[in-house]
A and B are shown apart, each in its own frame.
Chain A
Amino acid sequence: SQLAEENSWALSVHEGESVTVNCSYKTSITALQWYRQKSGKGPAQLILIRSNERDNRNGRLRATLDTSSQSSSLSITATRCEDTAVYFCATERGNYKPTFGKGTSLVVHP
């Protein structure tokens, strides 16, 4: 069964706008990671947030984690065309085997 799921299949914004991708999961976790996969490439890790953290930032990216509702969000501010990609959340349970969600496709229009 799917242990991590993004809540939107696809999002579309214009450059400069902000966007948030949401993720929910169903089991206890030790950490949650957000990845981005551009066309023709493998996934690249963006942010890791541990289960005892609530918020983590990396430049224009901000990830939040709510373990009580078993959800996470990834916000991107001042989006750019190069942010166009599929975004995945992946949960970790301390076993070095991240479980990926189905992904949210983000298109940033000029």
Chain B
Amino acid sequence: GALVYQYPRRTICKSGTSMRMECQAVGFQATSVAWYRQSPQKTFELIALSTVNSAIKYEQNFTQEKFPISHPNLSFSSMTVLNAYLEDRGLYLCGARDWGQNTLYFGAGTRLSVL
């Protein structure tokens, strides 16, 4: 079956430092990967949509300079949170799907805490 693994599951970083999170798709081709941040109140914010062989599209209030994303092949994507501060806390989720398919498969998320 189709699965998405995210790691690390939890991370704590000092204010002003950076952390990288990874997303691995198994059992299908992750042609597009959407990165979301979920707040403690459960609200989802779309950060960016990454499609293999295409430019990464960031949503308003999110930039490549702050959240650089790599999507080098059909099974892997990574995102870094640069210079993390308290407002960057949350559960970062990657949702991946194959081109033309309706089902978006999510990983369990990387929970970022910032001290």
Chain A partners chain B:
yes
Query: Which chain A residues border B109 with CB–CB below 8 Å?
Result: 42
Interface positions of B from 75 to 115, Cβ below 8 Å from A: 93, 95, 97, 102-109
* Number of B residues, CB within 8 Å of A: 23
Contact of A97 among B41, B43, B46 (CB under 8 A): B46
User: Does any Cβ of A come within 8 Å of B21's Cβ?
Assistant: no
Consensus secondary structure, chain B interface: strand
Q: How far is the CA of A44 from the CA of B29 in the complex (A)?
A: 18
Query: Which chain A residues border B108 with CB–CB below 8 Å?
Result: 40-42
A-B pairs with beta carbons under 8 Å apart, 29 shown: A33-B102, A33-B104, A37-B42, A40-B108, A41-B108, A42-B4, A42-B93, A42-B106, A42-B109, A43-B95, A43-B106, A44-B106, A45-B103, A45-B104, A48-B102, A88-B44, A95-B49, A96-B49, A96-B97, A97-B46, A98-B104, A99-B44, A99-B46, A100-B43, A100-B44, A102-B42, A102-B43, A103-B42, A103-B43
Which residues does B use to contact A, with CB under 8 Å?
A: 4, 6, 32, 34, 36, 41-44, 46, 49, 51, 93, 95, 97, 102-109
